[in-house]
Amino acid sequence: MRKWPWMVVVLALISSAGAQVSSPSTVQEEKSSYGTWKAADPNERMFFPRDMLWGWAQFDVAPPHNEIDPNLCGGNAGQYGGVNAPCSMFARYMLSGILEVRPFGKGPLRRFMVYGAPTFLFGKTVPKTLYTWSFDPIGIEHSWGAGIYLNKGFEFRVTQHFLFDRLGSRDKYLGLADLGNNGPWGRYMTVGVRKTFGTRRW
C-alpha cells in the first residue's frame, strides 16, 4: 500500500507558518503546548538553541485490584495455570513521559519540533489470582511524531504509534491467554491539530 506523503504537508505548513510570523517588535510570545512560545531571540543560534528541549516524566503505582491492563493477556489468564499462569502482564508500575525537541532557533523552522512519548510498564499480576509488588519488566508502548506551531495556540501534528514491545522473559508467546503485541492501541498513524489554552499560574 502506498504511504501517504505526510512530509509534503509538514513542509507546506512550515512555509505557511513562516508567512504568518510577525516581527519581534509586535509579537513577543504566544501560547504553545510547552507553555510559552516566544518570538525568536535575534542573538539565538540557528541550530540547537538553548530552549530546544521540553518534556515531562511521570511515575505511577497502581494499587492491588486496580492494575494497569495493556491488553496483552486475556482477563481469564488465571484459568491457564493459576498463580503460575505464564501470561501475567498486568502492570503495577508505569513510567511515562514525553520529550519535545525544537532544533532550530531562528526563522520559520523555529516552529518545527519532533517528539517521542514512551510508556514503560512493570509488574506481575493475574487478575483474581495473583497480586504481587514485583517490578518485572513487561514492555514499552511508544510513539513519535513531528509538529508545527501555527498560531494562537494551534499546532499541527503527525503521530506514528507502534506495536507494544515486550521486554525480557515476556518477549515470547505466553500461552492461551496471550493476546499478542497489539497492546491498548495497536499500530496507527494520525494527522491532527492540537489547540492549547489557559494561563499557568505557578
Q: DSSP assignment, residue 80?
A: T
CA separation for the pair 133, 74 (Å, rounded): 20
Longest Cα pair distance anywhere in the chain, in angstroms?
69
| Per-residue pLDDT at 196 | 87
Q: Which among 175, 76, 171 is positioned nearest to 126, based on CA atoms?
A: 76
In a domain, 162, yes or no: yes
Q: Which among 33, 191, 44 is positioned nearest to 103, based on CA atoms?
A: 44
| Per-residue pLDDT at 200 | 63
In a domain, 191, yes or no: yes
In a domain, 202, yes or no: no
In a domain, 1, yes or no: no
pLDDT digits (tens, 9 = 90+) for 154-195: 999 999 999 999 999 999 999 999 999 988 889 999 999 999
In a domain, 37, yes or no: no
Instruction: Name the pTM for this structure.
Output: 0.77
| Per-residue pLDDT at 201 | 64
> Which cell numbers hold the place of 173?
508467546
Confidence of residue 30 (pLDDT cuts 50, 70, 90): very low
- In one-letter notation, the amino acid at residue 19 is A
CA separation for the pair 97, 86 (Å, rounded): 29
CB neighbours (10 Å) of residue 100? 19
Contacts (Cβ under 8 Å, ≥6 apart) of 201: none
Q: Domain range for residue 116?
A: 45-195
Q: How many domains does the chain have?
A: 1
In a domain, 23, yes or no: no
Cβ-contact 54, 22 below 8 angstroms? no
CA separation for the pair 33, 18 (Å, rounded): 18
CB neighbours (10 Å) of residue 41? 14
pLDDT digits (tens, 9 = 90+) for 63-76: 999 999 999 999 99
In a domain, 136, yes or no: yes
CA separation for the pair 75, 177 (Å, rounded): 8
What's CA 5's distance to the chain center, in Å?
22
In a domain, 120, yes or no: yes
